[in-house]
A and B are shown apart, each in its own frame.
Chain A
Amino acid sequence: GAGVSQSPSNKVTEKGKDVELRCDPISGHTALYWYRQSLGQGLEFLIYFQGNSAPDKSGLPSDRFSAERTGGSVSTLTIQRTQQEDSAVYLCASSQDQNSYEQYFGPGTRLTVT
């Protein structure tokens, strides 16, 4: 079946602009995660959605970052007033449910803020 997909694959934006990154998880997976990987760094947890529960937003670095998950499926990560330090690869992952540790990752969106 289809894996996790993300769009766009690459995004170049000017400092101060808003960007939206999209994630389509594997069908039927109730858990969805957003991470980012800056150059030379590991994966940094951003936010976690599980079913209809309130999301775990503990990893969001500032209030410029927000995410939604509509209908328990597609998720959008929004970064407002982008800064150069936001440049990174943003990865989305899904897992079957809250009891499953195995996460399936999408290919990522490479964001470059100029």
Chain B
Amino acid sequence: DQQVKQNSPSLSVQEGRISILNCDYTNSMFDYFLWYKKYPAEGPTFLISISSIKDKNEDGRFTVFLNKSAKHLSLHIVPSQPGDSAVYFCAASAHNYGQNFVFGPGTRLSVLP
């Protein structure tokens, strides 16, 4: 049973518009969430994170929103740029699980010029 779900395997957005990537989780013990970006033939790179004590974290064009009651988080990219085209992974962790991170299957974002 997948504990972290990214139900959209792919997403296409026009350059300059907003990209919204969604992630749902089932384990209420998760208290820290991260987003990673992955280009082909490279390892994932850390993008942004959020702790469960917050409901929003912003870093430049990237904002992550957390809705604990819905067990849902989303990554907003505004404005989207062609260089943002990559696979985005959502990951979750729980303090009492040590450092065992659970990753979602990823969403492939294509930003069209």
Contact = CB atoms under 8 A, between A and B. Distances in A.
Interface of A: 4, 31, 33, 35, 40-45, 48, 50, 56, 58-59, 91, 93, 95, 98, 101-108
B44 A43 contact: yes
Given A91-B44, A106-B43, A59 B89 contact: no
Interface string B22-47: 00000000001010100001111110
Contacts of A45: 100-103
B103 A58 contact: no
Contact of A102 (B6, B34, B89, B106): B34
Interface residues of B, number: 24
Interface string B1-15: 000101000000000
Given A107-B42, A107-B43, A59 B99 contact: no
B103 A101 contact: no
A104 B47 CA distance: 11
Contacts of A4: 43
A58 B44 contact: no
A40 to B, nearest CB: 8
Nearest to B103: A43
Interface in B61-104: 89, 91, 93, 98-104
Contacts of B43: 4, 91, 93, 105-108
B46 A56 contact: no
B99 A56 contact: yes
Contact of A42 (B34, B41, B89): B89
